[in-house]
Structure 1
């Protein structure tokens, strides 16, 4: 519980810093100027934002640098320290608190809301896709609050308004799509329980709407989370069930995504040959000309993204000679505005280079990962940074690696003081 509070405090502090348009390095410089010392570095700010340390002795200077009331910062520190009476200022309430008890999708007996039409659902669909596009360039800690507010409002609209059957089904589809991106955002922020609740809500909505591919997308997203958080067997079962749920008639682009998740689930479960077969099925599905238009939520699925998953599987299976060329090629063409994905993909390249006995190059990539991750409120990038540094420890006698570990080894502490 205390570690989770520290992580949440770190996300809160990072949000305050970003609202002042300061980088971690600029905040450190401002704190040094205000305090008259030189002891605050960008690494120390990064440690605060990752939850590794609570900056209680620096609060007056932080308040001045961030334009935030000192009492508010003190309240946040008390929360991080475990004070049961303290609340994190402005923290996003959980999905469980936002949704009504029982079946959150059950319409109210006496609906008090206005009658809505297709235009209302179209507007909601635009906001849902806007969240997806925002997730391409922002992190979970930045988006979790607006995503959950939007989801709560959509559920209330479904329960309280009146509408035709067609509009009702379209609204359920949008609640399902919104639940998927909200769950993905929550997972990236490290709020795994909220993410699972969102995915389960979305599965219910999508099933009621009769949208098999959307059910599969939500189930596959939850399977991916389980596979990465110690529930590999359940993740594999759910990933395979998602493929069955979608059916063979689902658009090829969506089937490619679902097979990719099966491949990853097999990889995490230690099944190399089934993982390789699933990768092949993903590529085959993407190349099939089935004449179907893929849903908007599959906009990002492409050959390039499948190659990234190929490389991740190869890396996890300790096949660096296959992983390194793929990742190198993809990263040369990848959108530089997608900092989180760049950090994640470079983390796989760093591990693959270490496995290929190229520690000097691995150290270079590790530095890039750390630089890209520094300003991100993402639990995923923080976890991958630790994975890279742990892998480099096998080469600590190499000067380039030693330099990285000396400067950034504190990141291995994660949320531990």
Structure 2
């Protein structure tokens, strides 16, 4: 393998070494990501350098059985080659052969992309934004963004803000299917573009852009949290708070504090968790019912962890249940906190106060693959394994943790992997049992 090759040549070389056709690789990527969006033609574009597959590097690494760092290094070399040379000359553009426009549904040709490629290269590279971070947009929309980056006061508007919000939603969707690693480069690029545009935009547009930047930063905090990278996760939550304060978005400030409480749970920091939750509940902001319900549930868990106060725990759970019934909208801040997720959070509370049997009843009733993304299903499956261990059922505990481990590796979820390790620790007493030995061997592998 020529590790110094450009990414297109390297992809072709790795595919041929694996004795796969372009169609074979496309099918494997679809199976890995759980989508049906990769075609033979798309693989062909990547190998001919017509389009950069940077959002697919994690899946490509798995599909081609190569370290992701090898592909990332090749992609970085390609990015550097996209800069002008010493003579100020630009390389030939990398364009898409035929890209569907989101706004019109029409197909745009090479000629159309060639006409705007110089504008895109100069504008995006000058602003530090890779055009690849905007992978699903059409020519007209890219022109709009480029114009706003060049002259935000004139061209930045509500349509641009909506564009950025759609891209953030798409990145969140990609996270749910293949994990956070594939989405991070996209959202980092979006944050850069939003921040650059907001600096010169009109005051009303600037506030909307800063609110959007806060959304993106909070999402990045979640991505890094799931990958087990505590320092960058905390950095991006702090940036989200900063942008929310600058935009006078008090609700987002309360929401970021709630996310800090959730991060404290990962470390089993009950004191920190309670402090953040109390700040959420007592702050001056008006939060949607979904968010208030989640805050009450977090308070219930903190009570369970701190002092085993069942009465206080159940009071907060009941308050959360009432708030959840008041929530009529299925969109907006905190809308992911639905009944199924709530019941599993309640299961965690019961496990913390020494009621693992009740926790298992809730897991059995509400933990389904239909109700949760693959990554989240794996996470709660690991917690179900811990509940089995607490009931002295090592075989079911090991089986649940083993399934969770497979999902954690498929989605790069360090958070789930950490919970699996906790289950392994709880199963030391039964380490001679075949199911427990199988789990230990899988963890070591």
2:379 and 2:422 map into 1 onto residues whose CA distance is: 11
Shift of 1:112: 6.6
- Higher-RCO chain (CA-CA 8 Å, sequence separation at least 6): 1
| Cα RMSD after superposing both structures | 3.5
1:158 to 2:195 alignment:
no
Answer with 354-363 or 119-128: which moved more. 354-363
Instruction: For 1:162-311, list aligned pairs within 5 A.
Output: 162-163=201-202, 165-229=203-267, 231-245=269-283, 247=285, 249-273=286-310, 274-288=312-326, 293=329, 296-311=332-347
Residue from 347, 352, 355 that aligns with 1:319: 355
Distance 1:325 1:263, change over 3 A: same
CA distance in 2, matches of 1:385, 1:179: 28
- After TM superposition, give the deviation of residue 310 of structure 1 in Å: 0.5
Could you list the per-position Cα deviations for residues 125-168 of structure 1 after superposition, in whole angstroms to 9, with x for gaps in the alignment? 11122222223223222222222222222112212x222x3322
- SS in structure 1 at match of 2:392: coil
Q: Alpha-carbon deviation of 1:227?
A: 3.3
CA distance in 2, matches of 1:235, 1:156: 34
Q: Which runs of 5+ in 2 are unaligned?
A: 1-14, 19-24, 33-57, 78-126, 129-148
For the residues of structure 2 that align with 1:181 and 1:246, how far apart are their CA atoms?
23
1:188 Cα deviation after fit: 1.0
CA contact (8 A) 1:226 1:232 kept: yes
Q: How many residues matched?
A: 322
Bigger-Rg structure (1/2): 2
TM (norm. structure 1) is 0.67
Separation (CA, whole Å) in 2 of partners of 1:181 and 1:166: 23
Q: What aligned pairs does 1:3-402 form with structure 2 within 5 A after superposition?
A: 21=29, 66=65, 73=70, 113-115=151-153, 116-159=156-199, 161-163=200-202, 165-229=203-267, 231-245=269-283, 247=285, 249-273=286-310, 274-288=312-326, 293=329, 296-332=332-368, 334-335=370-371, 338-402=373-437
TM-score, length basis structure 2:
0.64
2:288–2:333: 8 Å Cα contact kept in structure 1? no
Residue 295 of structure 1 deviates from its aligned partner by 5.4
Q: In 2, are the aligned partners of 1:259 and 1:281 still within 8 Å (CA)?
A: yes
- Deviation of 1:323 after TM superposition, in Å, equals 0.2
Task: State the shift of 1:333 in Å.
Answer: 6.0
Paired residue for 2:103?
A: none
Deviation at 1:118, TM superposition (A): 0.9
Contact 2:344 2:367 (C-alpha < 8 Å) held by counterparts:
no
User: 2-side partners of 1:200 and 1:131: how far apart?
Assistant: 20
Deviations 1:99-129 (A, max 9, x none): 9xxxxxxxxxxx9743211111111111122
Do 1:267 and 1:275's aligned partners in 2 also have CA atoms closer than 8 Å?
yes
Q: Secondary structure of the equivalent of 2:388? A: helix
The gaps in structure 1 that reach 5 residues or longer are: 1-15, 24-48, 50-61, 77-86, 92-97, 100-110, 412-417
Q: Distance in 2 between matches of 1:253 and 1:225?
A: 19
